[in-house]
Chain A
């Protein structure tokens, strides 16, 4: 896909999103007009701003057709093959991290995440990999659960139970 095609697709997407936002406000029965003696109704701000977004998208489309923006003239590839690999694997790894956090809990997920990045992507030595895979969850536990008193997701009950003894231990000994 060239940058020119990407520019067109993006402008069409932004136009559809803007129209969708306008429709969303409109169908929610929010008053998009001027309320006498009070000024704008609840829906006026998002509705007309979305209308502005739609207009801006149309302007980009027009400029695309006239080849006015540098992007609409460029025939370079939008994303090179190497980049697709690197970017999608990074974004994918976050996606995997979020899914794993929901099911097996933050800490096990972080271990897998670190193993993947440090060993598989970075090809670092095993001692380095283990230091990251074990160090990160410990650091995260101390920072978020102990210092910031946040209860991070522990996953399904079976995994959550497995972690409770750490908290129990902490509360028994330190409070």
Chain B
């Protein structure tokens, strides 16, 4: 405990370095912006801006991107409430009650509740993170390649069991990501693989950023252009100091939902397939179930705004826990952060705590600071962000496209990759229209090389004996859990069929 406090103090000092503090502000602002723009969320912001962070040292870069991640969670509520369109998928549940509140002229109450709930959710989650991360990392130090591989298997299995998407399509998406990650020279034998059309350019592989920016930059913009081509209806927001004070006192009405959302969000956030969106929906559902007045949900109950907002912020921090301690990202956004860490020359995984304590604790310290900065910026800048929402897409789109193209070029210095990005973006858009989930593919291309390496390392060290995965207890537990998750939808279906059969008999 004491060592945690010492390290945390060092981390906070790191976060208060002028450059880092500046980047926290910049990150929060950028996050609020991408969060409140419909169609863009944290994952898009992080993917598009990652190449630019090569300007600064890795610690500062991750502090900036993590701040952006929070900011986006706060920002999502702004458009959910004022436009009735979720600013990011994570803020979908905020629309349910935020929109009716805005229609009743209580937009300021909803925005305030969202900000306060987000702050509480974020803070609870960071404290849990600080307590859980060091012991988890210490435990994970014992992991060999067998356990690493089993954990990744478990991460992919969560998409199949809990992702809620069409299962064959989810499996296709995971495998496609893994295969694309294998393009280029084999890390162990050195032989070139999957050199399509004998083009030399493929020898260096397909970078994960090319895929991530293709899907989350180009693909997402095409998607957004399609879904928001119609005009949007904005609600006026009345803001004054006296109203803000009155709104602050309202906190008693939603504090319970906020606590539920905070704890639930953290734990759901740590699961790779779940993340902030399901956490917010689950938290909304729970608050409604346990509310004294469940009928008022969906008609403008302030607890219905607070519950999902606290949960999505808590989940964003929660998803960093497995990324930092185990090297397994808990969400698409952290998958991209993890890929970034590899580019910055860091090795994600439990060794980070011992090898780069400045990096880890700087990040943790910055989370405390960023959370406080964002809540202040959020409340202070609400009037400005509402105006930003009126920004036409014909101005935003070319800027995003420019950043996508040049960002990809800047990471690899090759025009070839920008072409791949465009192709992936268009294909990703077409597949997404048919409900092929994209998040598993991004996770898979980041984890692909790591997964293959750990699989083959384990087998080489065990002289080709595949039982090595089930004779080690931790790896056995992970594999059993993974199997259970994969079988879960099948069991569910059988149960449902039996129930139906029983009902039809009766």
Contact = CB atoms under 8 A, between A and B. Distances in A.
Contact of B463 (A37, A128, A132): A37
Interface stretch (B69-77, B268-276, B424-432): B424-432
Given A60-B169, A82-B229, A98-B419, A53 B456 contact: no
A59 B168 contact: yes
A124 to B, nearest CB: 7
Contacts of A69: 166, 435
B408 to A, nearest CB: 10
Q: Chain A contact residues: over half helix, strand or loop, or mixed?
A: helix
B175 interface: yes
B430 to A, nearest CB: 7
Contacts of A138: none
B460 interface: yes
A79 interface: yes
B422 A91 contact: yes
Given A40-B459, A118-B395, A118-B398, 5 more contacts: A39-B459, A49-B178, A94-B401, A144-B410, A150-B409
B193 A10 contact: no
B190 to A, nearest CB: 8
A24 B194 contact: yes
A148 B192 CA distance: 31
Given A132-B395, A148-B410, A6 B434 contact: yes
Interface in A109-167: 110, 113-114, 117-118, 121-124, 128, 132, 136, 140, 143-144, 147-148, 150-153
Contact of B405 (A3, A90, A98): A98
B397 A53 contact: no
Contact of A7 (B229, B404, B434, B459): B434
Interface in A17-65: 21, 24-25, 28, 30, 34-43, 45-46, 49-50, 52-53, 56-57, 59-60, 63
B429 to A, nearest CB: 7
B358 interface: no
Nearest to A85: B229
B456 A78 contact: no
B171 A56 contact: yes
Interface of A: 3, 6-7, 10, 14, 21, 24-25, 28, 30, 34-43, 45-46, 49-50, 52-53, 56-57, 59-60, 63, 69-71, 78-79, 82-83, 86-87, 90-91, 93-95, 97-98, 101-102, 106, 110, 113-114, 117-118, 121-124, 128, 132, 136, 140, 143-144, 147-148, 150-153
24 contacts: A10-B434, A24-B194, A39-B458, A39-B466, A49-B175, A49-B178, A50-B175, A53-B172, A56-B168, A56-B175, A60-B168, A63-B168, A86-B225, A94-B218, A98-B415, A113-B402, A117-B394, A117-B395, A121-B394, A128-B395, A147-B55, A148-B52, A148-B410, A150-B413
B494 interface: no
Interface centre among B168, B191, B395 (most CB of A within 10 A): B168
Interface in B178-237: 178-179, 182, 186, 188-189, 191-196, 218, 221-222, 225-226, 229
A55 to B, nearest CB: 8
Interface in B155-183: 166, 168-169, 171-172, 175-176, 178-179, 182
Given A49-B178, A122-B395, A86 B171 contact: no
Given A37-B464, A118-B398, A136-B402, A95 B196 contact: no
A93 B399 CA distance: 13
A42 B189 contact: yes
Given A86-B229, A97-B401, A42 B422 contact: no
B54 interface: yes
Contacts of A14: 172
A33 to B, nearest CB: 11
Given A42-B188, A56-B172, A56-B175, A87 B435 contact: no
Contacts of A46: 179, 182, 193-194
A134 to B, nearest CB: 14
B387 interface: no
B434 A3 contact: yes
Nearest to A24: B194
B310 interface: no
Q: Please provide the 7 A-B residue pairs with the shortest distance between their CB atoms, ordered closest to farther.
A: A39-B459, A122-B394, A59-B168, A117-B398, A56-B172, A42-B189, A42-B186
Contact of B409 (A24, A136, A147, A152): A152
B331 interface: no
Contact of B398 (A49, A82, A95, A114): A114
